[in-house]
């Protein structure tokens, strides 16, 4: 499956903690877009799409949520709950997010600028696209 957990270095002392995140160093691509997802209710599911070539790294800044990742052959759940552990999601990975804790905040770092044509929003089309690759 085209995903992995990224462990960020934490620098801390009695004043608190700091986590630096740098493109092409901590993140395996140039960061071209950053957005946040917040105020999602626990019983709501988000995502439900894949990307053709876009790569993403998701950081749970506050709270928690669970990702269901699917490569067309197998699926796996990944639970995010700490800002020092991020989820890298490569291209052609179907994803959905659920079980948001109240007050959760996700930060998403993307390898490309927004392009609606990059999205695959139909699961059957996603599976068909994998067969033609």
**16-18 and 11-13 beta bridge pairing:** antiparallel
Q: Length of the chain, please?
A: 133
Q: What is the pTM of this model?
A: 0.93
Pick one of 1.10.220.10, 3.40.50.300, 2.40.30.170, 2.60.120.10 as the CATH number of 3-132.
2.60.120.10
Structure confidence by residue, pLDDT tens digits, 54-74: 999 999 999 999 999 999 999
113 belongs to the catalytic site: no
> Alpha-carbon distance 103 to 54, whole Å?
27
> Alpha-carbon distance 67 to 58, whole Å?
10
Structure confidence by residue, pLDDT tens digits, 11-21: 999 999 999 99
Q: Is the dihedral of CA 56, 3, 104, 46 positive or negative?
A: positive
């Amino acid at each position: 499956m085209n995903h992995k957990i990224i462990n960020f270095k934490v620098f801390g002392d009695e004043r608190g903690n700091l986590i630096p995140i740098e493109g092409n160093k901590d993140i395996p691509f140039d960061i071209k877009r950053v957005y946040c997802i917040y105020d999602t209710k626990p019983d709501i599911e988000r995502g439900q799409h894949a990307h053709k070539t876009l790569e993403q790294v998701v950081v749970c800044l506050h709270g928690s949520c669970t990702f269901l990742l699917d490569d067309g052959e197998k699926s796996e759940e990944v639970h995010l709950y700490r800002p020092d552990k991020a989820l890298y999601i490569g291209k052609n990975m179907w994803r959905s997010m659920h079980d948001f804790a109240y007050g959760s905040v996700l930060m998403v770092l993307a390898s490309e600028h927004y392009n609606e044509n990059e999205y695959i929003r139909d699961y059957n089309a996603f599976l068909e696209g994998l067969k033609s690759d």
